[in-house]
Each structure stands twice: as structure tokens, then as C-alpha cells.
Amino acid sequence: MTDSGMSRGRILVAAFEGWNDAGEAASNAVRMLKDLLEAEPIFEVDPEDYFDYQFNRPTSVLDEQGARQLVWPGVTIYGPSTGTPASSDEGGRSPDDVFLLLGQEPSRGWKTFTAEIVDALETADIGGIVFLGAMLADVPHTRPISVFTSSENALVREEFGVERSSYEGPVGILSALAEAAEKAGIPTLSIWASVPHYVHNSPSPKATLALVDKLEEIIDVVIPRGDLVQEAAAWEDGIDQLAGDDEDMAAYIEQLEQARDTVDSPEASGEAIAQEFERYLRRRDGRNPDEPWRPRD
């Protein structure tokens, strides 16, 4: 098997708040890693260059002494404590090989922003990037969170057995940064979790857990889950209680469960999956599920 270079040495795990971060699943995964690794800031962009403060407003907070201060939007790269030696190319990966990027999606200057970030990653000798993202989807909260892993890098796809995304349409900063990194010779891989759209207003620890599970597999570093498993269970129980008091919501979730179970069944063929998806679309649009489906005008 061809080695893409992502399975050893220093790697960056990146997430941005905003468009790429449904249910705060991706950003909370990186925050958890930052706390576990006790990572320290090693690089920050100047927010004046990349943020529209009418869109990403600074927030007012009180420090430990009760003094008020402003926290400005930004993007920070975190690394191990000062003085930690660089890893050996011949060895495996240790927690000290894991670097993090976390911040808000910038409002402007994306080309300049990605160039500045890539330059910082090259200075830190980062050998690969794993992007974490989360999107709202028609999925039930009662089933395992769907996770899709992809890469535009042929060697990464071969090494990890992942697919190339066929998506076409608007993109977030993750895609822009991935393109810039690949052009600079830094291989990238993306992990996206699907968050139930009917609970989009609250954080989704179950989606965060799904991202962490897949991330651990990819970067080959043990990640303690802490209270995340219990938080994910409590999140699911809370939605169950809401659905128990709302017949329409319960019926809709049951439709999503049936569609998901059909897709996941061992005997499901591609044709059967397509047929069930069409039936789901007809039910969602309030039509007879046995009528041929067509998009509404």
C-alpha cells in the first residue's frame, strides 16, 4: 500500500465555527482535543485582515478579576508545549504530533488567509491535515450518526480506503484551505458528520462523538472520551422526550428511521435504496408514496 505521509509525523486537525459546523460538532471535537492535549497557541491570524465585525462581532466577557474585556473573532493554530521535540519520520504518531486549528470562518480574504495558514503549517512541519465538518441532514437522531470521509488526494484515498467527494456547489473555508494545502504538497482528508436538521439549534454531542471515533481511527492516537458518551446519550434521551410530546415530530422521525434502516440492511440493493429514498421524498412532500416522485416546481 502506498504511504501518503499522513499516517506518521505531525498532523493538523482543523475545524471552523459557522457554515461548516452544524450542531457545533466539529468545533467541539477540536475543543475537546485542545483540553486533553493541553495545547498552546503557536500562531494566530490578525482578525483585522479577515473578519467583518458586523457579521462576526466581538463578545464582551468578564475575566477572573471581574474586569470586562473584548474577545475578538479569530483563527488559532495550537501545538504541544514549548520545547517539545519534533517527531521522527521513522516512528509512529504520539499525542505530541497532533496540532490543532480552531476559529471562526473568515468573512473575507480567503485566498490570502489560506496562503497565510499554509505558510504557518509548513513552518510547523505539518505533514497532513484532517478537516472536521458537520452538516444538517435528513437523518434520525436515534440511529448512529452518519460519517462521510473523503479526500481529493489519490494517495490518501488509497491508503485509508476512502472516497473522493462528488459534491458540486457552494463550499466553506474547509474546501478553500484543503485546495491550498494540496497545492503546497500537504495531503488532506475530510471527515463530515450528519446532524439531524430538526435539532439544529442545540449542540450535538452525539455527532461530536462520531467525529472523534473516526478521527481516532485515522490519526492512530487514542482519544479519551471523558463525559462525551454520557452527554451523547443524554442528548438522544432529551430529543426522545420532545418527540414523545409531538405526534408530528414522532411520525417524521419514524419515517427517517425506516429510510435509514432500509439503506443499512444487508439485503439492500442500490435499486432498493433508490426506491426507498424516492418514497421518503414523496412522504415528505405530502404525496402518495406509491406515486412516481418528481421535484416540485
Give the tens place of pLDDT for each residue, 163-202: 999 888 999 999 999 999 999 999 999 999 999 999 888 8
Does position 90 have pLDDT exceeding 50, yes or no?
A: no
Q: Once rounded to an integer, what is the mean pLDDT over residues 18-30?
A: 96
Residues in the chain: 297
Amino acid in the structure at residue 57: R
Give pLDDT, residue 4: 72
Percent of the chain that is helix, strand, coil (3-state, to 5): 40, 20, 40
The separation between CA 147 and the C-alpha centre of its own chain, rounded to angstroms, equals 9
What whole-number distance in Å separates Cα of residue 227 and Cα of residue 202? 17
Q: What angle do CA 246, 279, 252 make, to 5 degrees?
A: 10
Query: In 3-state terms, what secondary structure has residue 44?
Result: strand
Does position 292 have pLDDT exceeding 50, yes or no?
A: no
Residue 263 or residue 57, greater confidence: 57
- Which homologous superfamily does the CATH classification assign to the domain defined by 11-61+68-226? PAC-like subunit (3.40.50.10900)
Strands 147-150 and 59-62: unpaired
Give pLDDT, residue 7: 76
Beta strands in 86-186 (DSSP E): 98-104, 128-137, 147-150
Give pLDDT, residue 270: 53
Alpha carbon distances (Å) from 66 to 57, 58, 59, 69, 243: 21, 18, 15, 9, 41
* % the chain with pLDDT above 70: 85
Does position 38 have pLDDT exceeding 80, yes or no?
A: yes
Residue 165 exposed, middle or buried by CB count within 10 Å (0-12, 13-18, 19+)? middle
Domain boundaries, the chain: 11-61+68-226, 233-284
Q: Once rounded to an integer, what is the mean pLDDT over residues 225-248?
A: 94
Give pLDDT, residue 93: 80
The separation between CA 9 and the C-alpha centre of its own chain, rounded to angstroms, equals 22
Residue 258 backbone zone (phi > 0: left; psi -120 to 50: alpha; other: beta): alpha
Sequence-separated (6 or more) residues with CB below 8 Å from residue 20:
26, 105, 133, 134, 135, 172, 173, 174
Residue 276 or residue 112, greater confidence: 112
Q: Once rounded to an integer, what is the mean pLDDT over residues 47-71?
A: 92
- For the chain, the average pLDDT equals 87
Does position 75 have pLDDT exceeding 50, yes or no?
A: yes
The values of phi and psi at residue 40, to 5°, are -115, 150
pTM equals 0.85
**Residues facing residue 68 across a β-bridge:** 62
Give pLDDT, residue 279: 56
With cut-offs at 50, 70 and 90, classify the pLDDT of residue 83: very low
pLDDT digits 0-9 by tens, 99-148: 999 999 999 999 999 999 999 999 999 999 999 999 999 999 999 999 99
What whole-number distance in Å separates Cα of residue 252 and Cα of residue 122? 48
Q: Once rounded to an integer, what is the mean pLDDT over residues 255-283?
A: 66
